């Protein structure tokens, strides 16, 4: 584990394999990019995929109206549903610094019969889609930890364990987190699960 940032606490990096690492940092995911060509941010969207509040709203504002047009063209799997909970879809990043956006839908914690399975699927299918599209660098927010009400500690455990299992084909998996509380939950889970 290595620490970085101005006060030594703004980011931590863990090695997953000799060629793959996990980085946890604070920040705004709309600003994130590593190389602008094989990188993707993950949008915590809803099943309609036409924008919303939270990170989804910020990503749509930063990417520009082309993003809504691209999402609108995604086929509906049933009326009003372009991306069912736990699945993922990919679009270009348009005006974002990152080249791609992977849209996924986490569970609404209190309304989902098995939120842990749905959150695992959201992370896993995002990582799978990244690999299929030759993405080397990916940045996740804390999926479901805002409007969808997932408790931070439980979400952190799911996020880290899924990346540990399915993120090792990518060069770098980043978590870009908005609040100190969520950042601390993620670092705690990573220290528990990624002991050297």
Residues 109-138 that bind ligand AR6 (CB under 6 A): none
Choice from 86, 93, 115, 141 touching ligand AR6 (CB under 6 A): 141
For 162, phi and psi rounded to 5 degrees? -70, -40
Strand 100-104 versus strand 88-92 pairing type: antiparallel
Choice from 16, 34, 119, 142 touching ligand AR6 (CB under 6 A): 142
Distance CA 15, CA 49 (A): 33
Residue 56 is a catalytic residue? yes
Q: Does 93 bind ligand AR6 (CB under 6 A)?
A: no
Distance CA 60, CA 142 (A): 17
Burial of 48 (0-12, 13-18, 19+ CB in 10 A): middle
Distance CA 25, CA 143 (A): 15
The two structure tokens encoding residue 179: 């609040």
Q: Does 145 bind ligand AR6 (CB under 6 A)?
A: yes
Q: How far is the CB of 128 from ligand AR6 (least distance, A)?
A: 19
Q: How far is the CB of 62 from ligand AR6 (least distance, A)?
A: 8
Choice from 129, 138, 176, 185 touching ligand AR6 (CB under 6 A): 176
Q: Does 81 bind ligand AR6 (CB under 6 A)?
A: no
Burial 130-157 (b: 16+ CB within 10 A, else e): beeeebbbbbbbbbbbbebebebebbbb
Q: Does 88 bind ligand AR6 (CB under 6 A)?
A: no
Distance CA 81, CA 102 (A): 16
CA angle 63, 146, 29 (to 5 degrees): 35
Residues 4-63 that bind ligand AR6 (CB under 6 A): 28-30, 44-46, 52-56, 58
- Which residue lies nearer to ligand AR6 by CB, 9 or 52? 52
Q: Does 147 bind ligand AR6 (CB under 6 A)?
A: yes
- Which residue lies nearer to ligand AR6 by CB, 17 or 61? 61
Active site residues: 56
Binding site for ligand AR6 (CB under 6 A): 28-30, 44-46, 52-56, 58, 106, 141-148, 176, 178-179, 182
């Amino acid at each position: 584990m290595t620490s970085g940032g101005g006060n030594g606490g703004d980011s931590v990096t863990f090695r997953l394999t000799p060629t793959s690492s996990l980085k946890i940092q604070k920040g705004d995911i709309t600003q994130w990019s590593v190389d602008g060509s094989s990188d993707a941010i993950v949008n915590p969207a809803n099943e309609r995929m036409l924008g919303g509040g939270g990170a989804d709203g910020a990503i749509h504002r930063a990417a520009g109206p082309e993003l809504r047009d691209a999402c609108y063209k995604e086929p509906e799997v049933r009326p009003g549903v372009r991306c069912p909970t736990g699945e993922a879809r990919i679009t270009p990043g348009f005006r974002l610094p990152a080249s791609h956006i992977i849209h996924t839908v986490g569970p609404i914690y209190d309304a989902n019969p098995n939120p842990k399975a749905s959150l695992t699927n959201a992370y896993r299918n995002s990582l799978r889609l990244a690999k299929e599209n030759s993405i080397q660098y990916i940045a996740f927010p804390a999926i479901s930890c805002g409007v969808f009400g997932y408790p931070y500690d439980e979400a952190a455990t799911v996020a880290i364990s899924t990346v540990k299992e399915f993120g090792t084909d990518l060069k770098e998996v980043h978590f870009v987190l908005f609040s100190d509380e969520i950042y601390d939950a993620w670092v705690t889970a990573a220290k528990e699960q990624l002991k050297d």
